[in-house]
Amino acid sequence: MTMNSLKIFNTLSRQKEDFIPLNKNSIGMYVCGPTVYDDPHIGNARPLIVFDLVYRILTKIFGKDKINYVRNVTDIDDKIIQRANELKIDISELTKNVGDIFLSDCKYLNCLSPNNQPKATENIPGMIKMIENLLNKKFAYLKDGNVYFDVNKFPNYGKLSNKNPKELISGSRVEISELKNNPLDFVLWKPSKEKEPSWDSPWGKGRPGWHIECSVMAEKYLGKEFDLHCGGLDLIFPHHENEIAQSICSNESNIFAKYWMHNGYVTVDGKKMSKSDGNFITINNLKNNFNGQIVRLSILGTHYRQPLDWNLKILETNKKILENWYSFYTPESEEINDEIFNILLEDLNTPKFITTIHSIYNKAKAGDDSAKKDLNSALRFLGLFCESERQFNSLKQKSDLDLSEIENLVQQRNLARKNKDFKQADKIRFDLENKGIVIEDLNNNTTWKHK
Ligand SMILES: [Zn+2]
């Protein structure tokens, strides 16, 4: 069996295509990274893990030294300014803290480090240069210190989303402003308000729009045209659509990225995640109770383009599965064999890959030695089996209660608090504490951990 070629679903063409790099000796991959304003949540974990796997696949096919993997950090943004004001801390303190949590989350989820992790605030001169270029070429216009991109000048606008301008406007994520010629026009530079971070520019003190940073950082590290751009489905419009418009107009190139991959949405217990609904799961929350490999397997169990509904049951099921698989863990492992690897080459068919691992495990249980080897190599390729069995099990229950019992009691307590039955709420808290579980209430959100 030989290695097949990689096929991926390209959002731009809306079909599965063979991945043929522009230059197989120098492959560029750009992933839109986090906006560092709040603890990363389970919705952020999905692109991290999915595109980490894409990176691992490209590395295996083309060689690690041939891939330049860039993931940016958005460290200037309205949300950051707002959050820093709420917390009454300096913006740089907030972005440093959240950036550190993000990196520790990446480690917890066993994601490999990108080659470059540029920060927006370290690339402001490049952004000013690209904006000047767009103004000179009349793709942008200046109004009251704001610079806007003129969408009408780019005929292919809407190609990635496969929508015409009318449909895009009714999509409602368009900022309304009297300063704009067209509702779809988007900001490249805007004046900063008092006490907001600002940089000198030819248009006065201000700060860049969000989209321009990715265009500039992608070009800086990967050139005007590169192979693969990735992100969550919610970034297609307006973020990625705008990146394409800016880059192609500024660079006078035919393409920006050749292939676009987008992962699907994440819901929690069937609902959109929101802090007010109390179903907001940060990656940090999970660290206390689950090994990161369980989270990783739980995310990869659903195909990356499908919606993923997150719940405690998925975690518990995958915890048991990994515990079973770990009984065949060996410290050394061979390369994954091509027949198994080929499954991933079909647009990252992780569900089929995991089903295959289950049948390999069954063969290993029946005493098949080569199956034991395959199990180790396949799981390692997925970014699992990265710790010894002892390390993996070190988070095993320190409490007599199982997870669903704990969750059940926490919910009963939340209900009691909602009904202002504080006596009952305190009783549940006390009972849990006696069983080794500590409850924490923060910003309308209740979390728990082992003592
Ligand atoms: Zn981006």
- Residues 183, 259: contact at Cβ < 8 Å? no
- Ligand 1 centroid to Cα of residue 218, in Å, is 9
Instruction: Please tell me the distance between residue 211's alpha carbon and the centre of ligand 1 in angstroms.
Output: 6
Averaged pLDDT, 12-22: 98
Residue 276, pLDDT > 80, answer no
CA of 135 to the centre of ligand 1 (A): 21
Would you say residue 85 has pLDDT above 90?
yes
Ligand 1 centroid from CA 39, angstroms: 19
Residues 30-84 have pLDDT tens digits of 999 999 999 999 999 999 999 999 999 999 999 999 999 999 999 999 999 999 9
Length of the chain in terms of residues written: 451
Which residue do the tokens 């309308």 mark? 444
Average pLDDT of the residues in 413-431: 86
> What mean pLDDT do residues 11-37 have?
97
Of 79, 81, 104, the closest CA to residue 91 belongs to 81
CA of residue 22 to ligand 1 center, whole Å: 21
Cα 48 to chain center, whole Å? 4
Pull the structure tokens for residue 232: 């969550």
Distance 87 CA to ligand 1 centre (A): 26
On the question of pLDDT at 434 being above 80, the answer is no
For ligand 1, the distance from its centroid to the CA atom of residue 269, given in whole angstroms, is 28
Per residue in 334-343, pLDDT (tens digit) is 999 999 999 9
Q: List strand residue ranges (DSSP E) for 274-400, in order.
A: 308-310
Q: How many CB atoms lie within 10 A of CB 444?
A: 10
Q: Is the per-residue pLDDT at 141 higher than 90?
A: yes
d(CA 76, ligand 1 centre) in Å: 13
pLDDT band at 400 (very low <50, low <70, confident <90, very high): low
**Given phi > 0 = left and psi -120 to 50 = alpha, else beta, which region is 269?**
left
Is the separation of the CB atoms in 443 and 450 below 8 Å? no
Give 146 Cα–ligand 1 centroid separation in angstroms: 21
Tell me the whole-structure pTM to 2 decimals: 0.88
Beta strands in 32-138 (DSSP E): 67-71
What distance in angstroms lies between residue 420's CA and the mean position of ligand 1's atoms? 45
Neighbours of ion ligand 1 (CB under 5 A): 32, 214
To 5 degrees, how large is the angle CA 263–CA 274–CA 210?
Answer: 55
Nearest-angstrom CA–CA distance, 255 and 244: 8
pLDDT at 296: 98
Whole-number Å distance, alpha carbon 33 to ligand 1 midpoint, is: 7
**Is residue 6 scored above 90 in pLDDT?**
yes
